[in-house]
Structure 1
Amino acid sequence: MSFRSRSSKDPAETCHQVSAAKQVTRRQLFQSCGVGLGKISLASMLASDFAMASGDSGPSASAGDAPGLHFPAKIKRVIYLFMAGAPSQLDLFDHKPELTRLEGKPIPPSVIAGQRYAFIQPDAAVLSPRFSFQRYGQCGAELAETLPHLSKVVDDLAIIRSVHTDQFNHAPAQIFVNTGSPIPGRPAMGSWLSYGIGSDADDLPGFVVLKSGGNLSGGAAMWSNGFLPGQHQGVPFRSAGDPILHVATPQGISRQTQRETLDLVADLNRHRLNDLDVDGIRARIDSYEMAYRMQSRAPELMDFSSESDETLALYGTSREDAGSFAKNCLLARRLAERGVRFIQLYHAGWDHHSNVEGGLRTQCKQTDQGCAALVQDLKRRGMLEDTLVVWGGEFGRTPMVEASAALGRSLGRDHHPQAFTMWMAGGGIRAGQTLGKTDDLGFHPVEDPVHVHDIQATILYLLGIDHERLTFTFAGRPFRLTDVHGHVVEKLVT
């Protein structure tokens, strides 16, 4: 079965209908204030019964129906470990001895001619790698000393050293990696997947977001549903306490009272939907129904008592840990076990314009063990073969210091969109390889360049999706995650 499309209506007719619907919705909103927005906010938690009665399953269908698969999928789910702020590939994955030889000398003008940077000076001096490198595993991949845990699973990884992007500032670059566009308002990758092929989870969202490490430049635009129906938006979770605030039944409200209230409001929503037939009402019905189901599922999800001490030690976390990246990695595995399609972990703090050495030591200490443990844990549970784990930031770091040679040593690196490193592990990935190569300064890819859109196209391919065919018509034109770009990276996949 092909993807559901919204392109069947004439654009002018659609625009007129949407405009009319918005006017009616606004007018009826004020008319219904006497009913109470509080009751509406609790609304439609019996929507699954209503949907079954009406025969409308909504835009998302279960993965068992495979409504959007264009070919057999190699994986069922994705866990994306997004390192916000741009890790320095030259100090972690892409060892360049030539930088040591040229330490302190100005970068050749021919290298940076015509390039755009955020803060770099024309006479910026070359900065050598801050850490020693060593080869690990049967594949012999080179990693920095700050990644001791990742070195243990290196044979399960495909390291891509030649990734490049179009953006050189944090917010647009982060949004670009996550949505395929630097402009806020486009659907995130997880939203596209929720819309296209649904989820295996009946009582959890299909797209879950976990955050750690501080603020994110790209903000909520990175997990927005954009112009897709609202039920496909990424849902931020917490790794301790209630995973989502304001979902639990308020104190003083009995189960019977809640049920009676929901029966009433579901009936009101049924009439409203029949009158207006707009996506906003349908999305509200779906979201509050999901919230109702989560009231019983969330406590079990957050009960880490079933996790062994050995597993907690593997991740470097504890049952009392609240909000660390390591705890989020463990929660990601638990979400994957329960059928969540796309799990996005954001860890901020990689923006090292100064003290790149100290900053990287801190960030690697916070993330290295959790990343490696996630790969190990999935593998020993037989889940890695149908799960894709992705690691990377929004761009890379320059081979020279940000300040000029004459000004001395800030020992930080500037933004570098021309080349950076990502890695993948899991189903459909040709593990134990290092793909792509940069020049002697780590400045430009010289072998197997991989664009951000190629990464996106490859992820969709592993899920059984042709990235050129997953589209949604909005404002009179079809959109897709990869815009008009992107190719599957054939050397990455089995």
Structure 2
Amino acid sequence: MNDIAQQLAMMSRRELLKTASVGFGYLAFAGLSTQAAAREAGPLAARAPHFAPRAKRVIFLCMQGGPSHVDTFDYKPKLQANDGKEASSTTFGGTGRARYGKLLGPQAKFRQRGESGLWISDLFPEVAKHADDLCLLRGMHTDVPAHSQAFLQMHTGTSRFVRPSLGSWALYGLGTENANLPGFISLNPPSGQGGAQNYGSAFLPAVYQGTPIRGRGMQGAGAAPTSQVPNIANPQLSELAQRRQLDFIQELNQSKRAQEEHLANSQVDGVISSYELAFRMQDTVPEVMNLAGETSATQAAYGLENRETATFGRQCLLARRFLEAGVRFVEVCQTGWDQHRNLKDGLAKQSGAVDQPIAALLADLKQRDLLKDTLVIWGGEFGRTPVAQGADGRGHNNLGYTMWMAGGGVRSGLSYGETDEYGREAIDGRVHIHDLHATILHLLGFDHKQLTYRYAGRDFRLTDVHGNVVKDILV
């Protein structure tokens, strides 16, 4: 024993770590471990915002393609009355002789819903039952009527530069509540329209980027827990063997980092942390994504028993489970809202796939007393034109459209802002995407002007030099 003690005494700390029985990784990356003491010093440690938050977590129900506001949440009786008539500059309050085509009336009947009397179309009969929980933003507008640019701006605040996503800013500000799960998850994100930039961290440290989850885990209710995230488990290696393999890889990563201390090491740090997180996720993610513990009534409520609603219903149910497990920001994506033709049938299909699951999510959050501090956001990158495109379609419209929020400190049963009498342009209560971002951060407890990150000699923020909090919609 004396010989062993003498050998240990002669070792440097680095040599001791290298020869530890379980490997270098357990100690060298202690800041990334699940131990509470280590988490406090880590970059993802939970942090207090600037002031008391109204919302602690976010679900963004992202409808890629530009849902038609005039057919769903923005009632325009004059558009219905003038269906089929030619539209010109004067129709929309302008001058000149420019002609825009024929007006196309709403493709579904609108009704007043709940005690609030919000006008919502029959395309969303289940969501309409929660009208008194909704805050409709009917004066939304954005800069560009093109999918890729508008989709990127909705997620990052800009379409011209590579910037951190909304979810990354939220994670950067708040940290995480569960070291075994990503703090920001994007379920079924589109590969196009900006791709990984929509959940990327850009110049923020790479630990704040979102984790995309696609594949079989998003399809129906029957996927095995171990197959829901590709490569989440390695059946060829035991956990101890994986740990030793990872320790070796991480030692190489750490060596590279030490050799380049004079350089920014965000990417290396991101690789180190992502490997460690992936190792820890092997136990936690399959458990969270296993819906076997959910009652048959809950699964039926989310529409998992129906082919039309099963995929999006599963995503909504997983979003709730991830939030309960401590994930800060979950995005749930549904593509296919770009109805340049086949508007009536296409809208019915898209709305039918998400209506029941969204209503179930709202009811579930409310029943679990989570809606009050969970901010739910619904919408796409822009809306659609009141004039027809072809025989039965609508074009892109960035000048005015609708998004809605629920829970998380926003006023309920409220219609805020409006477009003109045909739904072409926001004219009152105008909310730019920068204003929306500023308001979301405010609800999370942040002054959007103060949540900054210094990069290339400048303090950057999500809203750049823009954005005003929409105070009229706050509780």
Query: Secondary structure of 1:143's match?
Result: strand
- The one-letter amino acid of 1:245's match is P
- The one-letter amino acid of 1:93's match is F
Tell me if 1:259 matches 2:246: no
Unaligned segments of structure 2, at least 5 residues: 1-23
The question of whether the paired residues in 1 share the 8 Å contact of 2:303 and 2:309 is answered with: no
Q: What is the Cα deviation at residue 493 of structure 1?
A: 0.8
Q: Residues 283-322 of structure 1, C-alpha deviation per residue, up to 9 Å, x if partnerless?
A: 1111111001101112211211110011011111149999
Matched residue, 2:116: 139
Cα distance in 2 between the residues matched to 1:208 and 1:292 = 17
Tell me if 1:476 matches 2:454: no
The question of whether the paired residues in 1 share the 8 Å contact of 2:54 and 2:409 is answered with: yes
Q: What is the Cα deviation at residue 244 of structure 1?
A: 2.8
The question of whether the paired residues in 2 share the 8 Å contact of 1:215 and 1:348 is answered with: no
Matched residue, 1:274: 258
Q: What is the Cα deviation at residue 255 of structure 1?
A: 2.4
Matched residue, 1:236: 212
Query: Secondary structure of 2:136's match?
Result: strand
Q: What is the Cα deviation at residue 268 of structure 1?
A: 3.7
Cα distance in 1 between the residues matched to 2:453 and 2:164 = 10
Q: Residues 105-146 of structure 1, C-alpha deviation per residue, up to 9 Å, x if partnerless?
A: 22122456999xxxxx94411111111111110000111111
Change (3 A) 1:183 1:323: farther
Q: What is the Cα deviation at residue 326 of structure 1?
A: 1.1
Cα distance in 1 between the residues matched to 2:309 and 2:73 = 30
User: Please, what TM-score do these two structures have when normalized by structure 1?
Assistant: 0.83
- The one-letter amino acid of 2:256's match is R
Change (3 A) 1:114 1:102: closer
Matched residue, 2:330: 343
Query: Secondary structure of 1:418's match?
Result: coil
Matched residue, 1:310: 297
Matched residue, 1:446: 427
Cα distance in 1 between the residues matched to 2:352 and 2:307 = 19
Cα distance in 1 between the residues matched to 2:276 and 2:309 = 27
Query: Secondary structure of 2:187's match?
Result: strand
Cα distance in 1 between the residues matched to 2:426 and 2:332 = 27
The question of whether the paired residues in 1 share the 8 Å contact of 2:88 and 2:99 is answered with: no
Q: What is the Cα deviation at residue 61 of structure 1?
A: 3.5
Task: Give the counterpart of 1:487 among 459, 462, 468.
Answer: 468
Describe how 1:396-407 pairs up with structure 2 within 5 A.
Answer: 396-403=383-390
Cα distance in 1 between the residues matched to 2:164 and 2:289 = 28
Change (3 A) 1:354 1:322: closer
Q: Which segment is superposed worse, 422-431 or 231-240?
A: 231-240
Unaligned segments of structure 1, at least 5 residues: 1-42, 116-120, 404-409
CA RMSD of aligned residues (A): 2.7
Task: Give the counterpart of 2:126 among 137, 142, 149.
Answer: 149
Matched residue, 2:233: 248
Query: Secondary structure of 2:357's match?
Result: helix
Matched residue, 2:12: none
Change (3 A) 1:320 1:259: farther
Change (3 A) 1:316 1:343: same
Query: Secondary structure of 1:324's match?
Result: helix
Cα distance in 2 between the residues matched to 1:274 and 1:425 = 47
Cα distance in 2 between the residues matched to 1:107 and 1:236 = 43
Q: What is the Cα deviation at residue 437 of structure 1?
A: 1.6
Matched residue, 2:7: none
Change (3 A) 1:305 1:322: farther
Q: What is the Cα deviation at residue 385 of structure 1?
A: 1.2
The question of whether the paired residues in 1 share the 8 Å contact of 2:50 and 2:446 is answered with: yes
Percent of aligned positions that are identical: 41
The question of whether the paired residues in 1 share the 8 Å contact of 2:61 and 2:377 is answered with: yes
Cα distance in 2 between the residues matched to 1:269 and 1:179 = 30
Query: Secondary structure of 1:142's match?
Result: strand
Size of the aligned set, in residue pairs, is: 437
Query: Secondary structure of 2:87's match?
Result: coil
Task: Give the counterpart of 1:171 among 145, 148, 154.
Answer: 148
Cα distance in 2 between the residues matched to 1:336 and 1:443 = 37
Task: Give the counterpart of 1:332 among 299, 319, 339.
Answer: 319
The question of whether the paired residues in 1 share the 8 Å contact of 2:32 and 2:276 is answered with: no
Q: What is the Cα deviation at residue 274 of structure 1?
A: 2.8
Matched residue, 2:414: 433
Q: Residues 12-63 of structure 1, C-alpha deviation per residue, up to 9 Å, x if partnerless?
A: xxxxxxxxxxxxxxxxxxxxxxxxxxxxxxx957764266799796763432
Cα distance in 1 between the residues matched to 2:247 and 2:309 = 36
Query: Secondary structure of 1:160's match?
Result: strand
Cα distance in 2 between the residues matched to 1:55 and 1:62 = 9
Query: Secondary structure of 1:415's match?
Result: strand
User: Please, what TM-score do these two structures have when normalized by structure 2?
Assistant: 0.86
Change (3 A) 1:59 1:113: farther
Matched residue, 2:135: 158
Q: Which segment is superposed worse, 129-138 or 277-286?
A: 277-286
Q: What is the Cα deviation at residue 258 of structure 1?
A: 2.0
Matched residue, 1:62: 45
Q: What is the Cα deviation at residue 263 of structure 1?
A: 3.4
Tell me if 1:222 matches 2:205: no
Change (3 A) 1:448 1:47: farther
- The one-letter amino acid of 2:248's match is L
Query: Secondary structure of 2:106's match?
Result: coil
Q: Residues 46-103 of structure 1, C-alpha deviation per residue, up to 9 Å, x if partnerless?
A: 764266799796763432x42xx11111111000001000110001111111112222
Matched residue, 1:71: 51
Q: What is the Cα deviation at residue 259 of structure 1?
A: 2.6
The question of whether the paired residues in 2 share the 8 Å contact of 1:159 and 1:434 is answered with: yes
Matched residue, 2:364: 377
- The one-letter amino acid of 2:237's match is I
Cα distance in 1 between the residues matched to 2:28 and 2:353 = 42
The question of whether the paired residues in 2 share the 8 Å contact of 1:46 and 1:266 is answered with: no
Matched residue, 2:346: 359
Q: Residues 139-167 of structure 1, C-alpha deviation per residue, up to 9 Å, x if partnerless?
A: 00111111110111111111111111111
Q: What is the Cα deviation at residue 221 of structure 1?
A: 1.9
Matched residue, 2:10: none
Cα distance in 1 between the residues matched to 2:240 and 2:306 = 33
Tell me if 1:199 matches 2:183: no
Change (3 A) 1:184 1:313: farther
